[in-house]
Structures are given as structure tokens and as C-alpha cells.
Amino acid sequence: MTDISNIDVPEGTDELSRNTRRAWRDRLNSASTRKMITGVLATLVGGSFWGFSGTSASFLFDTYHVDTLWLMSIRQILAGLLFMAVVVTRDRERLIKLWTTPADRKQLLLFTAFGLLFNQFCYLSAVRLTNAGTATVLQCLQLVIIMGYACVTDRRMPRTREVIGIGLALGGTFLIATGGDPTSLNISPLGLAAGLMCAVSAACMAVIPAKILPEYGSPIVTGSAMLTAGVVSCVFEQPWAHMPALDAAGIEALAVFVVIGSFFAYMLYMQGVKDIGSVRASLIGTVEPVSATITSAVMLGTVFLPTDLIGFVMIIVMMFLTV
């Protein structure tokens, strides 16, 4: 962007020059504010939609005994096709550019393998081996990983707001997921391992595509990664060979899982990473347990506890601190 402070101005036009620079500053500030608001809203809604994902997955696991790899494969291939349907009709040229630029393609494949593919497998495994609440608590450890990465790359100490935000996010998530009872987090070693790997992969998902998201946008990057991951997982899993017996309620839960909990959730969250950065996006994304608790109450009849309300307040305060 042009630095208007260095533009030569004819004599006698100092006032005009000041007014021009002031107008440019106001315009840039306005654009920055709009971008921040858009990014916060996208991350907030995307994180909320992830709550639908956990609730729907739990319902499918418990009621229909759906296989983890089957559900992951179906999620990726169907959500990936939805992304591509949007991208091919609206932004085909940039899609081709992404796949034909070696450095950007390498970044995309890293995001596919260590972000989307690994994260979805670990998250669904953690949900199956523990429960949706415990899996969410463990995944939120990504906040510490991302914060550490940001501090190392920026060569700085954590800001006070960031430290307080992490504390509120982790505390609120813990209260919502456990009701304040640490014994409810009693999990098997495999469940713990899956949850910790889920945190690592969630951090990779927020950090790895940071360079290509501004260039290509969330639908292209996320859609390409999602469809690629779906093709790879389907080659090994072959979900068409062992379809579960789903009735109308099961199909509805699967549709919510794919369309709301995957397509819209990932597109909006990655848009937030693009607009406000991985640290802010990961903090605001902890709205997921709030959404999961609400959707569980509506869809599965779960009752709110006082600790849930305290957790909600802590996460809401955290969002105000970090934006």
C-alpha cells in the first residue's frame, strides 16, 4: 500500500495534503475495523457450528454405532464436494493457481495431512474413546501451543490479555465439559493420547495455512484440503462397502454433521484465521463447548448446570478481552 506521507505536494496545498492523509487514515482504520468485525463474527459462528459437529457425532456413535473412520471419510468427501461446488462456479482461476504453484501446493498438502486429516481423526477418536466434552477440553490445549508458537516466531513474551484469555478459555471449557468435577475427566491412556494429538493437530490447522489463506481465501484452501483428505481416507476406508443402517433421524444427524458441523464450520473458522490471525481465532473458537452444550440440551435433552452458566460467562469475557 502506498505511503501517502511521502507524496510530494505543491506549495500552498499543505491543508489539502493534511486532509488527504487524514482521509486515507480514516479509510484504512475503517477497513481494518470492518475486517476485524468480520473475522470475529466468522470465527464465532464457525466455532458455534463445531458444537453441532460434536453433538451429532456423539449421537451417531451412541445410537447407530457408526465407525470412526467411516464417519470421517463421509464428512470429508461430502463437505469437500460442497466446497468445490462453490469454488468451481465462482473462483476457478485461483483454484487452478493454487494447485499449479509448487510452494503454495506444498503448503496446502501439509495443511491437508497435519491439519484437517489428522485433526478430524484425532477428534472423532477422542469423542469415541472419552466423550464430546472431554475431547473438547483436551483440544483446547491448542491455545497454549498456538500462543507459544506466536511468541517464539514474534520473539516476544505473552501479552497480559492473552494469558488471561487462555486462562478464561480453558477454565470455562473445563466447567462446561465436567461440571466442575475433575473426576469426570477420568479417561483411558488411549483417550488421553487421542485428545492431546487432537490439540496438536488443531494448532497445526490454525498455523499451517496462514500464508496461503490471504492469497486464495477460505473456500479454496479449506475446500481443496477437505476434498483431498476425503479422497485419501476413502481409498483406505471405502465407506461405500459398509454403510451403517441409518433411519430418518440418523440421516438428519449426518446431514447436520456434514453441512453445518463441517462445511460451514470450517469455512467460517478458516475465514476468521485469515482475518484476525490464529491466536485470536483459536481463542474465540472456544465458543464450541458453549454451542455443544446448548445443542446437546436442545437435541439430546441435556440439562444446564450452574457450572455451565459460569463457563459461558468466562468464555464470553474472554472473547471481549481478545478482540
Express each pLDDT in 139-177 by its tens digit: 777 877 887 888 888 888 888 877 887 787 778 777 766
Q: Mean pLDDT in the chain? A: 80
- Rounded to 10 degrees, the C-alpha dihedral 172/176/178/179 comes to 100
Whole-angstrom distance, CA of residue 112 vs CA of residue 320: 32
Whole-angstrom distance, CA of residue 75 vs CA of residue 116: 11
Whole-angstrom distance, CA of residue 220 vs CA of residue 212: 10
**Model pTM?**
0.71
Whole-angstrom distance, CA of residue 187 vs CA of residue 42: 33
- pLDDT for 250: 92
Whole-angstrom distance, CA of residue 28 vs CA of residue 4: 12
- pLDDT for 33: 77
Q: Give the helix ranges, DSSP H, for 181-247.
A: 189-207, 213-216, 218-237
Name the 3-class secondary structure at 11.
Answer: coil
Whole-angstrom distance, CA of residue 66 vs CA of residue 29: 50
Residues 286 and 140: beta-carbon distance below 8 Å: yes
Residues 143 and 286: beta-carbon distance below 8 Å: yes
Taking each helix axis from N to C terminus, what angle separates 218-237 and 92-100, rounded to the nearest 10 degrees? Answer: 60
- Rounded to 10 degrees, the C-alpha dihedral 72/56/295/293 comes to -60
- pLDDT for 225: 93
Whole-angstrom distance, CA of residue 160 vs CA of residue 163: 5
Taking each helix axis from N to C terminus, what angle separates 160-178 and 132-139, rounded to the nearest 10 degrees? Answer: 170
Q: Work out the number of other CB atoms within 10 angstroms of the CB of residue 292.
A: 26
Name the 3-class secondary structure at 246.
Answer: coil
Taking each helix axis from N to C terminus, what angle separates 288-300 and 160-178, rounded to the nearest 10 degrees? Answer: 20
Tell me: the pLDDT tens digits for 27-75?
656 667 777 888 888 888 888 887 778 778 888 988 898 988 899 899 9
Can you read off the three cell numbers belonging to residue 13? 496545498
In the chain, which stretches have pLDDT less than 70?
1-31, 131-134, 176-177, 183-187, 286-304, 312, 315-316, 318-323
- Tell me the CA distances in angstroms from 212 to 116, 232, 243, 275, 277, one per residue in order: 15, 22, 36, 12, 13
